Structure 1
Amino acid sequence: MPLDETTEELARTAATGDHVALGELLRRVEPDVLRHCERLLPYRQDAEEACQDTLLAVARNIGRFEGRSRFSTWLHIVTANCARTTYRTLKRRSAEQSSDDLAEQRPDPHRVSVIAGARLDLLDAIEALEAEKPDLARALVLCDIVQLDYSDIAAQLGIPLGTAKSRIHQARKHIQASLGDGYLGR
């Protein structure tokens, strides 16, 4: 989700409390946020929900954007977190519904689409890793979902470069064990 310098400047201006800049910023980033959410979630309406959650989170938290990293990096992280939260919410709702209600819902993406099922399996594996080893999960998400380079991951997490690489490697081994040999990262 690389953003141009005008958008980066809008973000810095919005972070100072400029509501006009914030409105323009949200308008500019919405298509990129939606595309990113669509890569993570199997259904468009779920991606749209995650996109709206992301834009709301950006609007609420823009004052926390300090400009130490690029806005695009910050936005990637917020987007990935909102998509994962949407996924968890949908999964919880699905589990809470009775079996009668399940027949009326959308088909199970694990059975209908290989791509959607693989994405859901990956999100499940990341969720399990996060519960067990959150430091590894954060590094993996920044690398393989947000697609930051190693130096940006190290800076974002406040750890040495070698530690970032090690965490990503360990996380991939855990995910690979969960999913079988189908996951190798990027």
Structure 2
Amino acid sequence: MGEVFSGPSAGSVVSAAEHADLARARAGDDAAFTRLIQPLRRELHAHCYRMLGSTHDADDALQDALLRAWRGLARFEGRSSLRSWLYVVATRICLDIVDTRAKRAMPVDLGPSSERAVLDSAPLTDVAWLGPYPDAGLGDGPATPAARYEQREAVELAFVAALQHLRGNQRAALLLFDVLGFSASEIASMMDTSATSVNSALARARKIVAEKVPGSAQQQALRRMGDGRVREIVTRFATALERGDADALVALLTEDVTWSMPPLPHWYRGLAAVTDFAVQVPLTRCPSWRHRLTGANGQPAVACYLGESPTGVHHAWSINVLTLRDYHIAEITSFLGSEHFAPFGLPLSVP
């Protein structure tokens, strides 16, 4: 991946306007501090999500980073860009969190796929699960079109899941170098280590990610299909669920399709296993579905609501992130739980 964001490099000096707002912020002007950090909030939040694999953890990490930056403004002398300094603060906070918490997991990390539908599966509450990331705001700001494309690529579900298999220093090195465009020497300064150590961590990280994500980026497939065709496929998927139409659903799937549902540990691979699960559970045992189209991790997604009857209230159930290939659905990741809906700006219930 190339550089995602087109902000100033670590070696750039702050602008005259930033100098003025820095002086005001150091004097206790909240509005000036807000002006300084507001253009950077979304990219910093996305960075924290990549590091931590959780929108909620990213919220906490960014809040802590901005609070620490506010309290430490006196130590920022303006020899580097404010953006670079904030990345130092945010990365160190994320590294502290990575060192004290279990890595985020997906069902595929826990065991082999199931060949038949598991009807008595219970959520695993002792696992730190990877969570979805809302597309809202991705691509905003001054970045070039190419940079905005790469920004979405860098939050794709497969890539973020692969990052969770890296040690904290490897994760940080890969993101800061390959995604954000910092140099090895700049990263070494950020992480209080040597450029040699950074390069070593970077090489190891690239090897592991390449093993976990062997195919091409989802963004390339989406661009080839075009927005209209992607929306058609996603709408057909959601409609098939609502109508309980197994044939229509199966027609959308690849032969090697997978379906997982964190926090449930069981997952399915292959058309036969996925079809058995779909027919046994969502298409027959779930009384009524409603949906809203959305976007997660730079990919098409469907928010599903479950009701006891077609005429009753439907409650938030899952955010389903779809991976497409050759005009079919190659992977369905259903993040179960109403807690995922608020970050997407979605209601908790619909008619």
Residue 117 of structure 2 corresponds to residue 117 of structure 1: no
The corresponding residue for 1:149 is: 183
Give 1:45 shift.
0.9
Which amino acid is the alignment partner of residue 126 of structure 1?
G
Aligned to 2:124, which of 81, 103, 119? 103
The corresponding residue for 2:61 is: 50
Unpaired segments of 5 or more residues in structure 2? 9-13, 104-122, 132-156, 213-351
RMSD between aligned alpha carbons? Answer: 4.1
Q: Normalising by structure 2, what TM-score?
A: 0.35
Name segments (4+ residues, structure 1) moved above 4 Å. Answer: 3-7, 137-142, 150-159, 173-177
Structure-2 change in CA distance of 1:182 and 1:62 (3 Å): farther
* Aligned partners of 1:143 and 1:150 also within 8 Å: yes
Aligned to 1:32, which of 43, 65, 83? 43
State, as a whole percentage, how many aligned pairs show the same letter. 24
Unpaired segments of 5 or more residues in structure 1? 93-101, 130-136
Give 1:116 shift.
3.6
Larger Rg: 2
Give 1:65 shift.
0.4
- SS in structure 2 opposite 1:52? helix
Q: Distance in 2 between matches of 1:141 and 1:6?
A: 29
Render the CA deviation track for 1:14-71: whole Å, top value 9, x for unaligned: 5643424223324443223212222322121111111111111111111110111111
* Aligned partners of 1:33 and 1:51 also within 8 Å: yes
Q: Normalising by structure 1, what TM-score?
A: 0.60
Which amino acid is the alignment partner of residue 59 of structure 2?
E
Q: Distance in 1 between matches of 2:189 and 2:95?
A: 22
Q: Distance in 1 between matches of 2:75 and 2:162?
A: 34
The corresponding residue for 1:79 is: 90
Equivalenced residue count is: 157
* Aligned partners of 1:140 and 1:168 also within 8 Å: no
Q: Which has the higher strand share?
A: 2
Structure-2 change in CA distance of 1:140 and 1:66 (3 Å): farther
Q: Which has the higher helix share?
A: 1
Q: Distance in 2 between matches of 1:108 and 1:156?
A: 28
Structure-2 change in CA distance of 1:146 and 1:68 (3 Å): same
Residue 112 of structure 2 corresponds to residue 70 of structure 1: no
